[in-house]
Amino acid sequence: MSTVAELPKWDVSCYFPGIGSEEFDQELKAIHADVLALRDTYDTIGVGAGSSIDFSSGLVGNVEKVISADNALSDRMKLARAYIHSFVTTDASDDVAQAKQSQMQGSMIIAGKLTTRFYAWVGRLPLDSLLAESSVARDHKFALRKAKTMSEKMMSPEEEALATDLSESGGSAWARLYGNFSSQISVPFDGKTLPISAVRNLAYDADAAVRKAAFEAELAAWKENEVVIAAAMNAIKYETELVSRKRGWASVLDGALFSTNIDAATLDAMMSASHAAFPAFRRYLGAKSRLLGNSGALPWHDLFAPVGDGGAWSYSRAQSFVE
């Protein structure tokens, strides 16, 4: 089995020297300045809610200018967010990374308000005429048509702005709490204290007794911390349900399907295909249970038990197989 020393190291220094470096601090400041500059552009052009807009040559230029500026800012923010994410998801106790995430959140709130203004603006545009005249618009046809639909599902501009502001202390805050709290749960196991992620990984151990003990220890740890976790999940889901209803979606599922670019018929087809395949999966799980010496159904703690004579794979062997 691979040891930690054999595994490749996570290295993002090719982007910035460090999460607390002056270079990354300057990048976050530059992003915030770009967000404010984009807001100024929106104000100048009149991006937002209002009455319908007649087609003109000037409108084409404004649409292309907004799309170009949005894309540039989006690319810059994606890199910074991913960079921060690489730190907070691997060490939730990294105070510097957490501080940078909070700093980035301020820019994201403003950008989120600009997004709702963009949706409202696209809803006012003569989209078919724009698509006929602008190659830039045609390159973004799918996104523009989706934005037009979103404009029909928006609350009032004031409500949308308030929802974005409240998300910082609402769903977004609860999501960060859930991630930070759950990642730092420690579990007593075999005379040691292990992170819950390490205990979860013991589901792949070759020893059945270890798998079973780890499973029971993990469940006990989740049970012990259920109050905080349930509060976070309930708050996140309630905000989602409330905002979906206010925006006129028939259900939270309808909004989720739209955001993931599929429809109910596609989801039903996927679910039907899954159900049709269940008998084959059940036969496999039954065979695995018998192979592991169980008399009945496969216990949950044996779900990921290694079987066969291949043994554990080194990282390099797995890499070569995937390639």
pLDDT of 2: 46
Instruction: Name the average pLDDT for the chain.
Output: 91
User: With pLDDT > 70 as the criterion, what percentage of the chain qualifies?
Assistant: 98
Q: If you compute the radius of gyration of the chain from its CA atoms, what whole number of angstroms results?
A: 25
Say how far apart CA 84 and CA 107 lie, in whole Å.
14
Say how far apart CA 118 and CA 128 lie, in whole Å.
17
Question: Among 151, 138, 163, which Cα is nearest to 240's?
Answer: 163
pLDDT in tens, 44-91: 999 998 888 998 889 999 999 999 999 999 999 999 999 999 998 888
Instruction: Report the predicted TM-score, pTM, of the whole model to 2 decimal places.
Output: 0.80
pLDDT in tens, 160-177: 888 888 888 888 888 888
pLDDT in tens, 104-161: 999 999 999 999 999 999 999 999 999 999 999 999 999 999 999 999 998 898 998 8
Say how far apart CA 149 and CA 202 lie, in whole Å.
46
Asked whether 221 and 187 are in contact (CB, 8 A), the reply is: yes
pLDDT in tens, 275-311: 999 999 999 999 999 999 998 899 999 999 988 776 6
pLDDT in tens, 192-228: 999 998 999 999 998 999 999 999 999 999 999 999 9
Length of the chain: 323
CA atoms within 13 Å, Cβ hemisphere of 307:
13
Per-residue pLDDT, averaged over 21-45, amounts to 96
Residue 172, C-beta contacts closer than 8 angstroms, at least 6 positions apart: 105
